[in-house]
Structure 1
């Protein structure tokens, strides 16, 4: 994975919440704090308006009830991180996780919670001004790897990775990533690809697609 220097002004993950027919539009960009944010600034329509996305061929576990995520663990890439809630700013864009904490995962608090039916969206920095961050190795996950989300209701939702894909930010497949699903799925998103110094931005997004495989008491 190619990235920019870890020093200097912190780069944030930003998400444009566009009023597109696909519903919940979260296009993450790693940008300089002084850069203009992306998106048209309009609030996103409800995720229910998005087209349905089929679940994995091997149906996973039944969906769980709503419960806030509290901790993310991905043993294969040594992730063990707490969550922070992300909200929309006045421009209708998703705020980024704080750039001064390298080991923090963001969850859109008005979206699906991990384990609920639908696509829960998690975001993390690939790096910050302080160095490599929580999702630095996200692109190295493989199908079958496990992603564990501890929840406030005392359960642990265990997801199985289906695929890891990289998309150019200017050709992000909104419907594929954010479309409604008949089962409980997870999307983990960070920046990737080449870091463009002129744009002060990574050119791609890395997206992990996963489905709920099981759950257990925490």
Structure 2
């Protein structure tokens, strides 16, 4: 039920595997990265769009310039498009979790070896943006989807689900990645944060 969010990866018809082979056919352009934006503290991270970049750190810089120059932003996540696994789309009246085949649920007492964290994003309505709903621990994206169904499946409606391995998300709150060092309250390039009007008023008084 899961496939890559990147259609170019799907066209490669790669065999089922836990990761994409390193010797895959080279793509014809910079890979794409998907950007998630937090507008205010404690708000859910929501999808805002893609960027093209040669590597993750550069994608993060491009994302900052593209999606936080004009609007309040307190946090940003970036993930390779190929790392996002997606479900089919449901409709606005039901949960796509109901369309998933029944798979064995991992035992809560199972050995933690091989378990990884996965972040889950829900689309509540077509035309809106996917938003982060939480994190689960599982041994594969498919198992993570089942865990997400158990943890978040009671939410209605859920039109589509994105599953991203947490290790593939580059986060603004990681150590040594503070992209708003110019403003203490982390409102990047918001004019009000620089007290521009105060400077204008002072200039007028001095003139």
Given the two structures, how large is their TM-score scaled by the length of structure 1? 0.25
Greater relative contact order, per chain length (Cα 8 Å cut-off, separation 6+) = 1
Of structures 1 and 2, the larger Rg is shown by 2
Higher strand share: 1
Higher helix share: 2
If the length of structure 2 is used for normalisation, what is the TM-score? 0.25
